[in-house]
Structure 1
Amino acid sequence: MSLAESWDRYAVGSKPRRTVNATGDTTWLNWTQYADHGPNESVLGPVAGSRVLELGSGSGSNLAHLATLGATGLGVDVAPAREAAARERWGSLPNLEFRTAEATAFLNETNETFDVVLSIFGAVWFVDPNTLLPLVRSRMALGGILAFSHLAPGSQGRAPAKAGLRHDHSPDEWRRILAGYGFSDVRVSLIDPPEGMTVDTMLVRARAA
């Protein structure tokens, strides 16, 4: 089974995101696997007018939220079912586009430049950083923001291990890896789970130097 087929099978079995969150918002950004938990888009700074790329954009909900704040968004996902779901739900929003592609293939082929690159339980977790990060940096504007999240190393959660090898790294390892590929001001934090849950989320933010 190919990578795209594996992720497509996982995507088809996923539950759609709610239409509103606990506070009644119709769009929102969520860095963790838990609903209504963790920081919001302020991690990225102001996004209005920014060109945003999400690698592993899923159903498009996080990117759509940034589009409502004035960003121009492009979501890339390897699973065709994800693009279809994203277009169906968010196709009416302006300045928002979704494509089916493997992350490194897209980065190798595009000549676009981005101010913000996101990976929320996405490509940064599943693609060798020694392959992916140089490509990401090459497509980022100077001073741009790379931000990604995944389960804390050693955690067992809902993300599909069967879909590929996870690249779990400690905070110090991420700082070293990112610095080696042209990123600075690397900030790593662990987000505690909600009460009654046990799995932390690691959130990493870095600037294209």
Structure 2
Amino acid sequence: MPEDADRVHWGPKPGIGPGDSILGPLHGRRVLEVGCGTGRFAAHLARDHHAVVDAIDLSPTQHQRAQTRYGDIAGVRYLLGDAVTHLHTADPYELVFSVESLAYVDPHRALPALRHNLPAGGRLVFSVLHTDLDERGPSSTLAPREQHIRLKNRPPAPVWMWVLTPLLWQDLLDEAGFTVDHHDLLTVPDADNPVTYQLIQARRRTDRPHAAGRDSGASDGGA
């Protein structure tokens, strides 16, 4: 079980990235964490910032770990299930955040559901993989691809992830009805570790989503 968190770690290693500061004032705010894993970030926001946090994960094992370790912390609730389904039925959140997990969900499902739930001006803050350990960068094709997660004392596990260029993420968010306020790359200050994450801060617009966006096969020269 990982140690309790004293900040949100957005990047590929603890301490990389801006921490909690980008989430804004949290006291009393209704927050959702998508893909909470062991639940330590949600517990931190409830315990140290007095946010009202729902934290959801698909894994029964992770849900049980989170509930066992942090379930008695006031202001946090751990949910087992599909985040997209939950977003369509839950009361609106003021802020939704996710560390790495949105890369596992089809953005054509996730982003409209997020817009549906968030009020105008509601914020979405998330990090996703940009460059992996094999130095493979993001794809300019709008499709998931196979990645391998390296687990301690286990063979690499294949998973399907949406590892997209910054331009594609911005286009998808724009089409879904979000304005991107900040889009940063988080790197490890270590020449032997090529892993990079994108950190995206967006807010829900008041206007309707665009009907169509950029060609999904377009090249992103800035990736």
TM interval, shorter chain, is 0.7 to 0.9
Distance 2:11 2:27 in 1: 23
* Gap change, CA 1:167 and 1:60, over 3 Å in 2: same
Q: Give the corresponding residue for 2:187.
A: 192
Displacement of 1:158 after TM fit?
A: 4.3
Choose 1 or 2 for highest CA Rg.
Answer: 2
Q: Which runs of 5+ in 1 are unaligned?
A: 1-15, 20-25
Per-residue CA distance 1:151-186 (angstroms, 9 max, x = gap) = 214357747895642111111111111011110134
- Please identify, of 175-184 and 85-94, the stretch whose mean Cα deviation from structure 2 is larger: 85-94
Q: Give the corresponding residue for 1:6.
A: none
Which residue, 29, 32, 55 being the options, matches 1:75? 55
Per-residue CA distance 1:71-97 (angstroms, 9 max, x = gap) = 100011000111111112112211100
Distance 1:103 1:60 in 2: 15
Q: Give the corresponding residue for 1:89.
A: 69
* Gap change, CA 1:206 and 1:95, over 3 Å in 2: same
**Aligned length in residues:** 186
Distance 2:37 2:10 in 1: 13
Per-residue CA distance 1:99-118 (angstroms, 9 max, x = gap) = 1102222223x231001111
Q: Which runs of 5+ in 2 are unaligned?
A: 138-146, 206-223
Higher helix share: 1
Q: Give the corresponding residue for 1:142.
A: 120
Distance 1:76 1:18 in 2: 19
**Aligned-pair identity (%):** 29
Distance 1:185 1:142 in 2: 14
- RMSD between aligned alpha carbons? 2.1
CA contact (8 A) 1:178 1:186 kept: no
TM-score (norm 1): 0.81
Displacement of 1:70 after TM fit?
A: 1.6
Matched, 1:101 2:97: no
Displacement of 1:27 after TM fit?
A: 2.7
Distance 2:184 2:159 in 1: 24
TM-score (norm 2): 0.76
Aligned letter for 2:165?
A: S
CA contact (8 A) 1:121 1:159 kept: no
CA contact (8 A) 2:11 2:187 kept: no
